[in-house]
Structure 1
């Protein structure tokens, strides 16, 4: 199945779809208020993002595997992930929120 790169005003999505019509349908279902600005069939079945292009050039960025596990178990529900992280690490609400949100920004 081909890999597509789809850009809307607010998002860049990477998805597998049978054809361009199906890719449009996936976007319309997920983000019904956003117009597809660009839809490209990728030449390969992988997607690579350069850290330098995102401005991540130092080793100071350290994703937390516990936070990522909590996000995965919470299926992306931030509040539930925060609760899971608080329980797992024994930290307060503010600390858990910062860790979960920073890991969401890094793309869990």
Structure 2
């Protein structure tokens, strides 16, 4: 199954799909309020992002709870912070740090 890069007006997604139309459907399923602006079939079956290019120097591990909150909030940072606070009982600063760190790690 080919790998597609799907860009909306707010996100860039990478996913497997059988066709360009299916790739658009995937974006619509996960981000229904966003407009798909570009769909590109990748030439290889992997996607590589340089951590140094993104400015990630630490060896921090992604937090599954923070990533789940980001997913449930459809990438809305403020909503994800609130969800993280509810799920973990964390204070605002700790929740913000967890969410922002996971955003920088490419949730």
Whether the TM-score (by the shorter chain) exceeds 0.5 is: yes
Give deviations 1:37-87, integer Å, cap 9, x for gaps.
Answer: 211111111111122432x16x3x34245xx1333566845345445555x
Residues 1:97 and 2:95 are matched in the alignment: yes
TM-score (norm 1): 0.68
Structure 1 segments unaligned to the other structure (5+ residues): 87-91
SS in 2 for 1:50: coil
| Structure 1 residues 97 and 36: CA distance shift in structure 2, 3 A | same
Structure 2 segments unaligned to the other structure (5+ residues): 73-79
> Among 66, 85, 91, which residue is 1:71 paired with?
66
TM-score (norm 2): 0.68
- Rg bigger for which structure? 1
How far, CA to CA, are the matches of 1:101 and 1:7 in structure 2? 22
Runs of 4 or more above 6 Å deviation: none
Q: How many residues align?
A: 98
